[in-house]
Structure 1
Amino acid sequence: MKKTILAVAAAAALLSTVAHAENATYAFDPSHTYVTFEISHFGTSTNRGRFDKKEGTAQLDRAAKTGKVDVTIDTTSINTGFDAFNKHLQSADLFDAAKYPTIKFSGDKFTFAGDKVTAISGNLTLLGKTQPVTLKANQFNCYESPMLNKREVCGGDFETTIDRTAFGMNYGLAYGFPKEVRLVIQVEAIKQ
């Protein structure tokens, strides 16, 4: 009887540990995380830029198919490779970095195919306005990093196309610049 009680207690403890261990927290790896955007330039070429400063965390439970992600992007870190263009993008015409130094995405509705995340829905806050956004995962993977002593790393390339006018960014519409901006968040996050 004593062995049975001990066996049941041990099994319950093991199951509790396994169920609890599925929900994990991940911190974004800044050396493998990039936030980029692109917009058509008069239908001739594509203007592209990135934000050099960004941070985020994610919680992921693949067994329960749930998660949560928070991303903060520093608008003062915009980089197109051309200083004059960077300054214009940071001006009140566009990102208004002095007044709105961050862009935020918070998502808590994860869509899965098997154990792979295929989309994350949440809210994007830009220029003080918040709109619902779904980031589609072009690829998602978790692996044991040989560079980090086999710690688990999860991530992928997530993208969406936003209507910038929904956030009040209307500059250039009269010139023919489109409303649509493609946003890509490439992220790798390390299990904590």
Structure 2
Amino acid sequence: MTKPSLIALALFAAAGLARAESATYSVDPSHTFVTFEALHFGTSTIRGRFDRKEGSVTFDRAAKNGKAEITIDIGSISTGVAPLDTHLKSKDFFNAAEHGSAKFVADKFAFNGDKVSEIGGTLTMLGKSAPVTLKANNFNCYNNPMFKREVCGGDFETTIARSQWGMSYGLPGIPDNIRLLIQIEAIKQ
């Protein structure tokens, strides 16, 4: 085999290895939590979560790119206070009857070494879409002894202005800025 042929073969093999790094992970709902925090009339912080979510993440540590799609069931909102949950599901806030889910689709992954440091994409809620960037406070992959597969995940956060999605009830007493905290683990498929 000639030297140019060997170089071409080596480049082809290296390209194949880089593509082989891309993997798809299914969100583990028992280790994934979407929570929010809102200041209540400048006095205390109200916290809540969405109990049902699903999705998948595909990323390639070698190529430093990825894609994520996460769907959140709005009707699964829980603050621990039933009347507040009912109000949050109403037209004043999430309008769960007409908009039963929110969806985050990300296609901008930033890495620090082989760890995801930031994910950018679009959050669609109440029929409106706006850009959102989630910063990773923590990220890791490990071989799960129970699943016998790799699991990747981390702690992500951002602050959004709820008025971007038309949720303006209670402003300014209930602030526009809402802190989102997402703890996610996903299992390699």
TM-score (norm 1): 0.90
User: What is the match of residue 66 of structure 1?
Assistant: 65
Between the aligned partners of 1:139 and 1:89, the Cα distance in structure 2 is 30
User: What is the match of residue 137 of structure 1?
Assistant: 136
Aligned residues: 186
Aligned to 2:86, what secondary structure does the other structure show? helix
Residue among 171, 175, 178 paired with 1:178: 175
User: What is the match of residue 169 of structure 1?
Assistant: 167
User: What is the match of residue 124 of structure 1?
Assistant: 123
Paired amino acid for 2:154: G
Q: Contact conserved, 2:18 with 2:63, CA < 8 A, in 1?
A: no
Aligned to 1:147, what secondary structure does the other structure show? coil
Give per-residue Cα distances to partners, 1:104-127, cap 9 Å, x unaligned. 100000111111111000101111
Paired amino acid for 1:83: A
Give per-residue Cα distances to partners, 1:71-111, cap 9 Å, x unaligned. 10000000111111110000000000001000110000011
Give per-residue Cα distances to partners, 1:41-89, cap 9 Å, x unaligned. 1121100100010001000100000000001000000011111111000
Q: Which runs of 4+ in 1 moved over 2 A?
A: 10-20
Report percent identity of matched pairs. Answer: 60
- Cα distance, 1:19 vs. partner? 2.5
Between the aligned partners of 1:11 and 1:177, the Cα distance in structure 2 is 60
TM-score (norm 2): 0.92
Between the aligned partners of 2:19 and 2:136, the Cα distance in structure 1 is 26
Residue among 152, 155, 161 paired with 1:154: 152
- Cα distance, 1:18 vs. partner? 2.4
- Unpaired runs of 5+ residues, structure 1, are none
Between the aligned partners of 1:26 and 1:14, the Cα distance in structure 2 is 25
- CA change 1:13–1:131 in 2 (3 A) is closer
Paired amino acid for 2:177: E
Between the aligned partners of 1:97 and 1:169, the Cα distance in structure 2 is 12
User: What is the match of residue 75 of structure 1?
Assistant: 74
Aligned to 1:43, what secondary structure does the other structure show? coil
Query: Does 1:99 pair with 2:111?
Result: no
Between the aligned partners of 1:128 and 1:140, the Cα distance in structure 2 is 31
- Unpaired runs of 5+ residues, structure 2, are none
CA RMSD, aligned part only? 1.9
Give per-residue Cα distances to partners, 1:143-172, cap 9 Å, x unaligned. 1111212x1111101111000011100011
